[in-house]
Amino acid sequence: MSCGVALAVSLLLSDPNVAVAAAQPPAVADAPVSVAGEPLFADIVARSGLLRGEVRGWMDAGAADRADFFTGPDFTGFKARATELSALDMQGHLILKARGTDNDLKCILRGISEDIPVKVAAVEAAATPAERRVALDELAYLFNDNVEVITAPPQPEA
């Protein structure tokens, strides 16, 4: 028996994780790597989820139909957090750009960063409850998209 085979057998017998790892398919060189676990991107996902929940809560409760809603602390705090999220999305875009990645996520993060203030302004500008509901719904979808594009499994570049 060669030394290599003897070593492999002893490793297999001593640590079951070696056998599990050996059974995995080999890693593909240059395969896309998910950024969802990185702190910045995890923070973006968490913040987007919270903001989406706030928007959905307002929609369910009809809170945005109150005359003082846009000057109240709920909306002003929300607007500040949405602005922070927009800046984080741009930071994510710039990080991916600096890494030299040429994937959709980089571009989507930039687009979301630019769209957040536009969608928030559309909510503020909505003249009727029906228009406001549409604007809130679009804002909620934007926050949901922010979560989904980061947590989706990365795809190979075409």
CATH of the domain at 71: 1.20.120
Tokens of 24: 């995995």
Whole domain around residue 134: which residue ranges? 39-151
Q: Are 56 and 140 in contact (CB under 8 A)?
A: yes
Task: Tell the residue number behind the tokens 């950024």, with chain if given.
Answer: 35
**Could you identify the residue written with the tokens 């993060």?**
109
Look at residue 62 and tell me if it is in a domain: yes
Instruction: Specify if 132 maps to a domain.
Output: yes
Q: For residue 17, is it within any domain?
A: no
Flag whether 96 is in a domain. yes
For residues 103 and 130, is the Cβ–Cβ distance under 8 A? no
CA 15, 20, 26, 30 torsion-angle sign: negative
Domain membership flag for residue 8: no
82 part of a folded domain: yes
Q: Is residue 158 part of a domain?
A: no
Whole-model pTM: value is 0.78
pLDDT tens digit string along 76-123? 999 999 999 999 999 999 999 999 887 889 999 999 999 999 999 999
**pLDDT band of 156, cuts 50, 70, 90:** low
Q: How many domains does the chain have?
A: 1
In a domain, 87, yes or no: yes
Asked if 114 contacts 92 with a C-beta cutoff of 8 angstroms, the reply is: no
Flag whether pLDDT at 52 surpasses 60.
yes
